[in-house]
Amino acid sequence: VAYGYSEVEKIGSPWLAVEALVVLVFLAINLYYTGYNSKLRTCELIDHARQALDKLKVCIRTCTWTPSNYLLLQCPLSPSVSVQWTYRDNEVINLPTTLLIEGDIIIMRPGQKAPARCRCLLAEVDNQTQEELSGGEMFAPEVDSQREHTDQPCYQKPLKSKPYVLLETPFVKNLRTILEKGGNRPVSIIDNEQYALGTLCVLRILLPTVFLILLITNILRIVLLEESAGHWTEMVIVLQVHATWPFLPVLFPLLWYMLNLLGHARILAVFDEGKGQQYEYSDLDRFSVETNISEDEIVVHYEWRQVWRHFLELLKGPSISLPRTANSVHALGNINSLCCIDKKGILSWPNPTAEKVFFFSSGTQCKHAGKKGKVEAELEKAQKDAAEEEEENVDQALTPDYHIEVLDLTHDAKDAFGLQFDDPAWKKYLNSLKPLGLNILLNTCNKSTVNAYQTFTDHIGVAALKNEDTVAVVNRRCLCELARQIGFTHKAMEIFQKQLEFGMYKHVPLEVRAKEKLQRNKSLVIHKIPMPNMMSVVVQETKTGATQLMSQGTADILLESCTEFWDGQDICPLTDTDRKKILDFYNRTSMASYCTAFSYRPITHHISDSMGCLFIELPEDCSHLYPLARSPTPTRSWDVESLDSRLLKGTHLSISVDSLYSESSSASIKDAVDLFKAQCNQIFIGMVTMQYQARLDVVKLIENLETACIRFVHFSEENELRSRVFSEKMGLEAGWNCHISLLSGDYTESTSQPDSNTSNQSHRTSKISSHVSVDTLNRSSRSRDKSRRHSAPSLIHIEDPQVRFSMQPSEENCNSIRSDDTVQTVVVNQVIHQSGQSSQAVNQSVQMSQSDELDGAVCNIDGVEVEEVKIQETPRSHFTSDETPYTNFSSNVSPEGYFQPDIHIAYQSDLSPAEEQEMVEIAAHYGSHRTSNTDDTMSGGFDMSNRAKLPKGIENIRPHLEHVDNVPLLVSLFTDCTKGTTREMIQIMQEYGEVVCCIGSTACIQNTASFIQADASIGLEPQYPQLCMKQSVMTEPWEEEELSPMDINRLLNSLGCSLVFFRSDNISLTQLIAEARHHCVAMRNSFLCLLSYHLSISLIQLLAAIFLLPPVLASRHLLWLLLVVAPSLSLVHFGNPLDPHIMTLASGKNEDYLTKDVIVQYIVYFILRFVPSLLIILLCFGFSLYGLCVKNTGMAEACHACFGNMQYSTPGDWRGWSTQYHSGLVLAQNILLSQFVLYTVLSSVSSVHRYYHLWRRAPFTNKLWCVVAPAT
């Protein structure tokens, strides 16, 4: 418009047309690319889904999958993996849930939740009512229980799986969620900053303000100073356009989109480089105390050709990294919280590994071993001195000669199953560990028992639903490595043949459940009682025909079936004190880990084959059954005096082996009672605790995140205690105010007093275990059961070397193993003598055990009268000096290290209800399920009472944040989570400005909602759990180009994820976050520099108009500054090398991106940095015009510093600067341009490295600046 109304012959007018053309071209480019980018953003998820479906169609046409390409049917269940037994091609496969379609026939196992709406097929065949299950509903068939009619063991038929037909496709719901909500992610903080500054501040405030000021000023100049002004088109249109053009987004939108794509390309380049690198474990990683992140941990040396290739792919169209709907660069660069919604196979190894081994050890087990030479003589002398000391003091001779040992094991960070004992002298306990290793191989790690274990697990899982306070726990996981460490090879199982397997379980008594409720309310711990169960396997030695019963299960029910234990030398009777210690260790460790007890016994009678497909259910109170099933051995009738006299006189005992069994050898077991009796009289071997171990790279990642001021949040589906234990393994704070349970209040049980009818049992008041022990007359009856010595594991068949140890104890590592243990063969069996023969027992001194003392009258809680009760626990002398079954206690701990509670109870019938409840709570500490050592510090001294005023339940999070404090936004652990509560908590975090990045398993179909909710999501294909370390998870397709079913599953479940990789790839999230932060910081710095340069260009023109100067910048000058100089100097920040210091900067929230302090700070910065220089440049411009005017006219008095030649009176011609003296004006403008560009280049020297002083880091480290600065 200005060009049309201006005089065409005027010098400089053609540049107006060029300027207008450039503006129109960039406007067209911006409009086109904005529309194109919006289209790509709208269709990005749709195109991504189409690509995945196209790959699926190709697999349908080309791939031929076999059952070996799927996970094993017996693969352990994991929350990180969603699979379903399905009929495909007339075979049952473990199909990923995502690949299920409508019409598929699935096999619903008891206790399993339906993947989608389905209908039972058997109901149609039997003409019954069609049984339908909705998605997420549990298939829980009724257990035919006969417990109401008898107090004897009874059979239970295993619950069977049923075929169901799917009525809908599970993935359709997820796909709708992705397409509907995938584009509704929160706007990133950088986009909000750009909108706040570029749109709100610049376009809506600065642009109108400058335009109005300049318009008023120019109109006044036209009216009042017509001869000193230019043409009206120039004054009203051109100068306004030139001053406001820096505020218009001419180049900025295109530049902003390009920089975002460049950031994604750099992230993908780092991602590709990381795939080829494997994490190198070292001891320094485990014991490093370095808090800063080194340069080697964040710098990735990638080639720019990779960046360029990814940049072109992103520029052309849709990408699987979702750069437009889920901007991972903005999310990772400004992340506040990194949330992990899966544990197994992601944060931890997929399989639990052994952590502790509990067993009994004889005090004389290691006395006969030693080094040769001088050491041997010293040991012999020490033995003589010990013998003399025993003769002097008989009481000391009767001291129990056994110890409880607990060996710790450390997991190998490089191997999923790798283990090693912490104690370097652990081999001295090899005699105690050998039966345990053999039981593991024959029972736990026996492939032939897999189906039976799976059926038993499903059965008791449904049976446990009968009581809401109980949970079924069956810990059958691979312990082959522990057996190998003990010394067994894989050939150890070849000499045994499995015959039968059967399970046994019982429900937790109502009284115990009521006590647990009271204790739960007191300690605020959400904990369910493990349902007692055990699984037994009958194996036969192929050569001798000897039969063994190997059992494993929960310690409570297994211990009730045991009468003796193996201490590495002999079989010893279990006392109540021993049982109490075993249960105490079990109760503590089972709260935070998975504890399994092991036992065995020899079998001489035949068990009917029909018994192998049934389970035994015991009555809730089965204490009356065990005394009837005890072996009538003569040792049971020993009194203390005769025992002591025979031990001191060295009387030899000879007892027939036939007395071990109440049944005859030829008897056959055909009913539940006999089968129950066959499982009694077992020998306790030990216990193994297992725990999921945190990955070492996860621990290092959390340390780096803490340094980077990023909160790592773990959403755990487990209860409070298990979650806290694992969080501490990862290095998270898990104290009393560092975790919140998201379990809604609807799930908490109401407290109630125990029913008087069920709790009115006198023996419960002083009961430590459910046994009626033979040593109640005198607990010091520590004896050697001579009749059971023939089934001791110490008997070794030298002539049958089938079981060889791959690791023999050496003289250096085990200096205390007896010489007779050097035989390389061990077979745990019994020696069957012919009738009429008797076994020759070895005379051995028996030491008496110290016992607990129970003083005062027996309590009768329900009988109103309770007198003073004083309970004194077993001294620490029963344990080794270095290790005890439990090491942490609550405040009631004596200096010796054991509990000595001194409880005085006064209970009367007229007590208040509150006092009665408190009385029952105190009594609850001393029941069969909870011992006196369990207390509130269950599981090794963890204080589980969350005393902080923290919300509980997802429905109470928002009210707490609104009315109390922001603690829920500071904790790192949320427990008792579901997929729904996890998604809602992520949404709450976003509502309060958190930038959340979500990490989860791509094998879980339920993670889709959380992936879509987060600002950016990273999908990891987890490591799949293995049934046994000797058996692979699945067989991959032969050709690498073919996709496996799990690949398709990963592809569909990760449609909402920006990045997807395998857990074994060891992609460094620290490097990705550092690269994203570096790019985001460069974008911020470039945007601020560009804004400052544009403000300076506009301000210098505004000041020139206010000072009544001619135009300081022509159209060509503006084009050069706005399209070349300002963008080039702003983009030099992307040439900075990656700085480790960037990982120590805290990111702000997404709600405080523009505050008053930030605006004031920037205004002060701009005024101090640019305004003085601009005034000086304008002053130089005025002096230049004055000098040129004097030179042209030759009269100094006729020239004015602002108006020029005062004698030139032609209106609209700037006193001749537009026509006659135009060359002088152009020269002055060029000088001003040079000064302005020189100042911007020099000022960029200090802004290249914004966080360092100029003398600490020179700008020459930025290679891009070294090229751009001289060029401009």
Q: What is the 3-state secondary structure (H, E, C) of 341-374?
A: CCCECCCECCCCEEEEEEEEEECCCCCCCCCCCH
Choosing from 158, 181, 204, the residue where a domain stops is 181
Cβ-in-10-Å burial (0-12, 13-18, 19+) of 327 comes to buried
CA 768/CA 931 separation, integer angstroms: 7
* ∠ CA 909-910-912, rounded to 5°: 115
Distance (Å) of CA 48 to CA 322, 522, 766, 1002, 1058: 8, 52, 67, 16, 11
Closest to 925 in 3D by CA, of 523, 594, 508: 523
pLDDT at site 237: 84
* ∠ CA 626-630-636, rounded to 5°: 125
Q: Which helix (H) or strand (E) covers residue 565, if one does?
A: strand 562-566
Closest to 327 in 3D by CA, of 182, 178, 174: 182
What percent of the chain has a predicted confidence (pLDDT) above 70? 72
Distance (Å) of CA 1087 to CA 27, 195, 360, 1084: 20, 12, 71, 5
306, 271 contact by CB (below 8 A): no
pLDDT band at 1099 (very low <50, low <70, confident <90, very high): very high
CA 1079/CA 1075 separation, integer angstroms: 6
1100, 1171 contact by CB (below 8 A): no
CB burial string 1153-1183: b at 16+ within 10 A, e below:
beeeeeeeebeeebeeebeebbeebbeebbe
When divided into structural domains, the chain yields a total of 2
Question: Is 540 a domain residue?
Answer: yes
- Residues in Cβ contact with 913 at an 8 Å cutoff, skipping those fewer than 6 apart: none
418, 411 contact by CB (below 8 A): yes
Question: Is 962 a domain residue?
Answer: no
Rounded to whole angstroms, the maximal C-alpha distance in the chain is 147
With the C-alpha atoms ordered 309, 314, 320, 321, is the resulting torsion angle positive or negative?
A: positive
Question: Is 1171 a domain residue?
Answer: no
CA 1053/CA 1034 separation, integer angstroms: 20
What percent of the chain has a predicted confidence (pLDDT) above 90? 32
pLDDT at site 280: 56
CB burial string 1236-1250: b at 16+ within 10 A, e below:
bbebbbebbeebbbe
Q: Is 838 helix (H, G, I), strand (E, B) or coil?
A: coil
Q: Could you tell me whether strands 594-603 and 162-166 are parallel, antiparallel, or unpaired per DSSP bridges? A: unpaired
pLDDT at site 465: 86
Question: Is 577 a domain residue?
Answer: yes
Distance (Å) of CA 738 to CA 263, 957, 978, 984, 1174: 35, 15, 19, 19, 54
The string of DSSP codes covering 510-543 is HHHHHHHHHHHHHHT----EEPPEEEEEEEEETT
Q: Which helix (H) or strand (E) covers residue 649, if one does?
A: helix 640-649
pLDDT in tens, 496-523: 888 888 889 988 887 777 776 676 665 5
Q: Is 1051 helix (H, G, I), strand (E, B) or coil?
A: helix
Question: Is 954 a domain residue?
Answer: no
Which of 67-76, 353-362, 557-566, 986-995 shows the lowest per-residue confidence on average (mean pLDDT)? 67-76
pLDDT in tens, 294-314: 777 888 888 888 899 999 999
Question: Is 50 a domain residue?
Answer: no
Enumerate the β-bridge partners of residue 879. 404
661 backbone dihedrals φ, ψ, rounded to 5°: -120, 140
Q: What is the DSSP letter of 792?
A: -
85 backbone dihedrals φ, ψ, rounded to 5°: -65, 125
Structure tokens at 294: 């080194």
pLDDT band at 629 (very low <50, low <70, confident <90, very high): low
CA 561/CA 895 separation, integer angstroms: 36
Can you give the residue range of the structural domain that contains 364?
Answer: 353-694+766-822
Question: Is 85 a domain residue?
Answer: yes
pLDDT in tens, 417-429: 889 999 999 999 9
Chain centroid to CA 756: how far?
44
pLDDT in tens, 638-654: 233 333 333 333 333 33
- How many CA atoms does the CB half-sphere of 1244 hold within 13 Å? 32
CA 153/CA 895 separation, integer angstroms: 46
Q: Map 433-451 to HEC letters.
A: HHHHHHHHHHHHCCHHHHH
Mean confidence (pLDDT) of the chain = 75
Enumerate the β-bridge partners of residue 1020. 1001, 1061
Residue 1089, pLDDT > 80, answer yes
Chain centroid to CA 911: how far?
48
pLDDT band at 930 (very low <50, low <70, confident <90, very high): very low
Taking residues 936-948, what's their average pLDDT? 44
576, 779 contact by CB (below 8 A): yes
CA 608/CA 601 separation, integer angstroms: 18
pLDDT in tens, 804-850: 444 444 433 334 333 333 333 333 333 333 333 333 333 333 333 33
1001 backbone dihedrals φ, ψ, rounded to 5°: -80, 135
Distance (Å) of CA 1222 to CA 10, 262, 1104, 1225: 10, 45, 17, 5
Residue 916, pLDDT > 80, answer no
pLDDT at site 507: 86
CA 504/CA 676 separation, integer angstroms: 8
Q: Could you tell me whether strands 353-362 and 402-411 are parallel, antiparallel, or unpaired per DSSP bridges? A: antiparallel
Q: Is 1120 helix (H, G, I), strand (E, B) or coil?
A: helix
Choosing from 149, 181, 213, the residue where a domain stops is 181
- Residues in Cβ contact with 153 at an 8 Å cutoff, skipping those fewer than 6 apart: 504, 616, 617, 618, 619, 622, 625, 672, 673, 675, 676
Closest to 537 in 3D by CA, of 505, 566, 498: 498
pLDDT at site 397: 44
- Read off the pTM: 0.79
Q: Which residue has the tokens 């230049």?
A: 1184
Residues 1187-1193: contacts with CB under 8 Å, at least 24 apart: 1188/1221, 1188/1224, 1188/1227, 1188/1228, 1189/1221, 1189/1224, 1191/1224, 1192/1221, 1192/1224
pLDDT at site 1010: 94
CB burial string 138-176: b at 16+ within 10 A, e below:
ebbbebeeebeeeebbbbbebbebbbbebebbbbeebbe
Residue 940, pLDDT > 50, answer no
CA 400/CA 1208 separation, integer angstroms: 123
Question: Is 749 a domain residue?
Answer: no
pLDDT at site 512: 75
CA 72/CA 75 separation, integer angstroms: 5
Taking residues 1057-1077, what's their average pLDDT? 89
pLDDT band at 797 (very low <50, low <70, confident <90, very high): very low
CATH number at residue 88: 2.70.150
pLDDT at site 914: 47
Choosing from 166, 181, 196, the residue where a domain stops is 181
- Residues in Cβ contact with 1021 at an 8 Å cutoff, skipping those fewer than 6 apart: 1001, 1002, 1003, 1046, 1050, 1060, 1061, 1062, 1063
Q: Map 470-515 to HEC letters.
A: EECCCCCCCCHHHHHHHCECHHHHHHEEEEEEEEEEECCCHHHHHH
